Structure 1
């Protein structure tokens, strides 16, 4: 039953990757934390379960974000001027965030994850330019401060929490004048530096940790969970591909905020 649950939520992560730019973290982290923290499955302590959930999430994101980026590149929805050099600075910040997370208690990491979601939801609802977006003929370019220090901050926070960064890049790009379809498509390649750097770092720090997780792990990454979540995600992405560009922009924005709310509540109950 647990395997089926992981595959189903993997499918949901595939859908959210394609339609909302969520590389898997917002779906995978709460579910995997609950599964690993359950005595019926493994009974990992809450701090360790959270580290494993975040590490496995970043690993799933590599596959999800790569496949979605490939599809977006083929369809022509990627805008190179908004990808580089922002992606490079996000990669630098990712290394900082992944190393910092290795020194933080898992319970603190969980609270930080929840606080991050709450602030993002409030920002999307209270500040103009996200839900009440007005289409512009020419999107505004990113400033040097946003690309440089802003990109480093995005990478650090995203990797620290294992969420891919889409919750920051989508609102950012939308306020630059991009549609939800464009902004969510761009979120996936911008999440790749987070996923790659985060996964490598969690594998190393997990291997050096005194916690003995046993077979089926590379560092903090749970290989069985990774395989099940990735398999489900592949089916979910194929299912969601037919809806790309067909959802009204305002409804797309409301659905994005609503999903963040659902994840926040589920994490609070975990």
Structure 2
């Protein structure tokens, strides 16, 4: 891997660490486009490598962030073993499906899902503007147990970690951005661990070795560069979290979704 590519991934890691703490994104929505951009000439399996490597990065990022989370916030997950279990099962199913799917399907599914999410949070009340009593989803967690299976499956298939789905759901239950994004990290962890184990068994089809050191479908060099940038940022921001008003906080989330989607489109056209 070229020095310039490593520096790019390191810079993306800085962004990944920031989004992990501030937005609950374990890294998937920024790392997948970055890895696709760096290894675009590797071969048809670049999307598989990107999603698998993203899962590895998300595990470490989400684990570090969760370990530093206020226990009062984590208490909202008490009694939700069924949800966490189905998120994990969905993660394994989604990762298995990603192994069989054409890379183009993963790439464009990622784009379509992100665009759909952006439209949803802009159009429906509860995310950027207050929901009425009729619109609001009851319950602090607002994620039904059975919803864990489709959330985990879609998240692992696309490599986005689940926060793109869980944060809007938590917002519509009336949770502030700080709580919704914080809870996204342990939920991401439940999805990413089983998905990662599935990805370790994958053998992607690349030209030669493409200059990539792979364990399963995980690109070790990219993962290391991304984590080198992400982990110090996570530690610093958890110790000194910035105080962001809720509404600008929510708009920043939407802006990052748009940036990630535009990046993925730009690297595949």
Q: Would you say 1:265 and 2:262 are equivalent positions?
A: yes
12-21 or 222-231, which deviates more: 222-231
- How many residues align? The count is 258
Question: Are the structure 2 counterparts of residues 186 and 52 from structure 1 closer, same or farther at C-alpha, using a change threshold of 3 Å?
Answer: same
Distance in structure 2 (CA, Å) of the matches to 1:83 and 1:16? 25
1:234 is displaced (CA, Å) by 0.9
Unmatched segments (≥5 aa) in structure 1: 38-42
Secondary structure of the equivalent of 1:5? helix
Task: Specify which of 95, 98, 123 is matched with residue 95 of structure 2.
Answer: 98
Distance in structure 1 (CA, Å) of the matches to 2:98 and 2:61? 22
Q: Would you say 1:108 and 2:111 are equivalent positions?
A: no
1:178 is displaced (CA, Å) by 1.0
2:241 corresponds to which residue?
Answer: 244
1:140 is displaced (CA, Å) by 1.8
Task: Specify which of 45, 50, 53 is matched with residue 48 of structure 1.
Answer: 45
Question: Are the structure 2 counterparts of residues 211 and 49 from structure 1 closer, same or farther at C-alpha, using a change threshold of 3 Å?
Answer: closer
Distance in structure 2 (CA, Å) of the matches to 1:204 and 1:186? 29
Alignment of 1:100-249 (within 5 A): 100-133=97-130, 140-141=139-140, 146-206=143-203, 211=206, 214=209, 216-241=213-238, 244=241, 246-249=243-246
Question: Are the structure 2 counterparts of residues 171 and 114 from structure 1 closer, same or farther at C-alpha, using a change threshold of 3 Å?
Answer: same
1:230 is displaced (CA, Å) by 0.7
What's the CA shift string for 1:74-101, capped at 9, x where partnerless?
5x33222485432221111111111111
Distance in structure 1 (CA, Å) of the matches to 2:84 and 2:261? 27
* Equivalent residues of 2:47, 2:107 under 8 A apart: yes
2:38 corresponds to which residue?
Answer: 35
Distance in structure 2 (CA, Å) of the matches to 1:204 and 1:264? 28
2:17 corresponds to which residue?
Answer: 14
Secondary structure of the equivalent of 2:89? helix
84-93 or 113-122, which deviates more: 84-93
* Equivalent residues of 1:90, 1:193 under 8 A apart: yes
Q: Would you say 1:2 and 2:5 are equivalent positions?
A: yes
58-67 or 91-100, which deviates more: 91-100
Question: Are the structure 2 counterparts of residues 35 and 113 from structure 1 closer, same or farther at C-alpha, using a change threshold of 3 Å?
Answer: same
Distance in structure 1 (CA, Å) of the matches to 2:38 and 2:246? 35
TM-score by length of 2: 0.89
* Equivalent residues of 1:93, 1:155 under 8 A apart: yes
1:2 is displaced (CA, Å) by 1.4
What's the CA shift string for 1:15-38, capped at 9, x where partnerless?
00000000000110001110011x
* Equivalent residues of 2:77, 2:141 under 8 A apart: no
1:40 corresponds to which residue?
Answer: none
Computed over aligned residues only, the root mean square deviation of the Cα atoms, in angstroms, reads 2.2
Distance in structure 1 (CA, Å) of the matches to 2:198 and 2:169? 27
Distance in structure 1 (CA, Å) of the matches to 2:153 and 2:195? 10
